[in-house]
Amino acid sequence: MNKKVRKAVFPAAGLGTRFLPATKSIPKEMLALVDKPIIQYGVEEALAAGIEQIIIVTGRGKSAIEDHFDVSFELESTLERRGKKELLAITRNVSNMVELSYVRQKEARGLGHAVLMARDLVGDEPFSVILPDDVIDAPVPCLKQMLDVFNQLQGSVLATQIVEGPAISAYGVLDGKQVAGNARVMEVKGMVEKPKPAEAPSKNAIIGRYILTPKIFELLEKTPLGAGGELQLTDGIKGLLETEKVYGYIFEGTRYDAGDKLGMLKATVDFALKREDLGPQFREYLKSLSL
Ligand code: G1P
């Protein structure tokens, strides 16, 4: 294989019901974490990992995502006229960031179905998938860490972290064993999407970063509907195991589920505290609260 991973697919067609009513008219991917939409964190991570092309799988009501990454002529000329150089740079930076392609998922039929929609745009090469809800703060971008593993082992790589207790049921869960000599890599032997706590094969939950070989597309074509009556990406990857190696990678960094209210609140506090412009004042404010 030995091909470079150049593309990242962002499934962004989901309904965002966990964040209603905010997501009634705003795509959940556009919810702001401090001052950036959550999808921008994922796009920046992909670019920092050397990805050259971003493919966003959208659906009805998601046009705000396309507008966000597009040139905003009116806004830019107004900022220019008012001499707001810093804001102008921030705005232009978003539209200059990268080449984006969009493909539409007409019905929300599951994550596997969303990835399948990107088949023609990805073509016959290994690619990455980033779930924008999962915002990962890491010393080395999570996808970059995974690309290093992919380049070394030449097999699909799934991000994973330990999830304790019944919360494991919200995830795809890996079964496998640690690769000798690398405590962060496991060779995957099986996986289950959203198991009952007693049936989870391990505490290794799949987190929303994947590097996949193009064979996944033909497998997804024939994968039957799974958990929740949806075409599950996990079930497609399970099929890959029959002919290819799949690895789980315990990434270094902190993951936030920004598609969930509590996860978003935690991310907001942590990201704001780290900001040079906001951190000191925000810290003082938090300290003043009698909790
Ligand atoms: C999806 C995947 C699941 C994975 C999770 C990570 O589930 O189907 O395997 O563990 O993302 O965030 P969702 O959160 O869309 O239900």
DSSP 107-165: S---HHHHHHTTHHHH-SS-EEEE-TTEEEE-SS-HHHHHHHHHHHH-SEEEEEEE--G
Atom of ligand 1 nearest to the CA of 228: 16
Q: What's the whole-number mean pLDDT along residues 161-169?
A: 96
> Which protein residue has the closest C-alpha to ligand 1 atom 11?
208
234 Cα to the center of ligand 1, angstroms: 9
Residue 101: per-residue pLDDT: 94
Does the pTM of the predicted model rise above 0.85?
yes
Residue 115: per-residue pLDDT: 98
Residues 6+ away with beta carbon under 8 Å from 7: 51, 52, 53, 54, 55, 121, 122, 125, 127, 128
Atom of ligand 1 nearest to the CA of 234: 9
* Tens-place pLDDT, residues 204-246: 999 999 999 999 999 999 999 999 999 999 999 999 999 999 9
**Where in the chain are the domains?**
7-259
Q: For residue 198, is pLDDT > 70?
A: yes
* Residues within a 6 A CB radius of ligand 1: 111, 131, 134, 171-172, 193, 205-208, 232-234
CATH topology of domain 7-259: Spore Coat Polysaccharide Biosynthesis Protein SpsA; Chain A (3.90.550)
> Which protein residue has the closest C-alpha to ligand 1 atom 5?
171
Q: What is the mean pLDDT of the chain?
A: 94
* Tens-place pLDDT, residues 69-106: 988 888 999 999 999 999 998 888 888 878 899 999 99
Residue 2: per-residue pLDDT: 57
- Higher-scoring residue by pLDDT: 164, 71: 164
* Tens-place pLDDT, residues 245-265: 999 999 999 999 999 999 999
Atom of ligand 1 nearest to the CA of 259: 14
114 Cα to the center of ligand 1, angstroms: 13
Cα dihedral 124→39→173→52 (10° resolution): 30
81 Cα to the center of ligand 1, angstroms: 45
* Tens-place pLDDT, residues 172-189: 999 999 998 899 999 999
